[in-house]
Amino acid sequence: MSHHFVTVKDLCYRYPEGTHALEDVSFTVTHGESVAVVGANGAGKSTLLLHLNGLLLPTQGNINVGGTYVNKKTLREIRKKVGFVFQNPDDQLFMPTVFDDVAFGPLQMGLSAATVDTQVKNALKQVGALHLADRPPFKLSAGEKRLAAMAAILVMQPDILVMDEPSSSLDPLARRNLIRLLKSFKHTKIIATHDLDMVLEVCRRTLVLCNGKLTADAPPLEVFNNNKLLKSSHLEKPLTMQGCPR
């Protein structure tokens, strides 16, 4: 098996105040797969994603990323393998300029200034954001911030991309450009989203979470044509499957 895989087995997580956020969640994502995680607010999507690079650690169960189990001792190695794009880019961008933000990770690895310069420019080009290099992040639009945050992850060349609501707050053109970008990535991708139309375009597999439990693991069309499953999960069909009323 390729090292670009994630296996989650019997994952349970309880927040300190006692909330049961995840219950016995198990699945495997293999090399090159693009997998959506969908569900209502509070279903456990973000909590699940935060486990995949060790921002949260399981109460029970385990997570294997490319042959390495996620625990306190392996966080450095896990975070080299798994690039995490937060739902809110402001949680990720903190340097004076976009260039500085994207360069932060490579500089921490001890790379030369020339190598960092090349890698940062390549990452910004990849997401179509080279023109933002000298801009302060706090002066960017929501869509521009999202591109900068993605570049800051891609520059680290992770094996696996984990993204939490990547299309939220984007205007239609920015959303379309994001979809085009995601489809071009060869990485293994795990995407939590409410944008079910994007799931149809980008993902070939959909995990459904409901009240912290995995209730479905199937191709998107199979999930979105299951009216009983959608109702019980507080979901609706993607707009493109609902038809246009006259």
Confidence of residue 3 (pLDDT cuts 50, 70, 90): low
64 vs 77: CA distance, rounded Å: 12
Whole-number pLDDT of residue 2? 59
Report all structural domains of the chain as residue ranges with CATH numbers, in order of start.
6-235 (3.40.50.300)
For residue 11, give every residue at least 6 positions away whose Cβ sits within 8 Å of its Cβ, in sequence order, or none: 22, 24, 25, 26, 48, 51, 58, 60, 61, 62, 63
Is the C-alpha dihedral spanning 175, 178, 184, 187 positive or negative? Answer: negative
35 vs 151: CA distance, rounded Å: 20
Token pair of 210 as six digits: 């409901």
Taking only the tens place, the pLDDT of each residue in 163-186 is 999 998 788 888 888 899 899 888
- Rounded average pLDDT over 52-77: 95
Confidence of residue 8 (pLDDT cuts 50, 70, 90): very high
Q: Nearest CA to 51 among 239, 204, 212, 246? A: 212
C-alpha to C-alpha distances, 236 to 37, 108, 179, nearest whole angstrom: 15, 44, 21
- Rounded average pLDDT over 36-58: 96
Residue 60 has a CB neighbour count (10 Å cut-off) of 13
pTM, entire model: 0.91
Residue 132 has a CB neighbour count (10 Å cut-off) of 23
For residue 101, give every residue at least 6 positions away whose Cβ sits within 8 Å of its Cβ, in sequence order, or none: 92, 93, 94, 95, 137, 148, 152
Taking only the tens place, the pLDDT of each residue in 82-98 is 999 998 999 989 999 99
Whole-number pLDDT of residue 234? 94
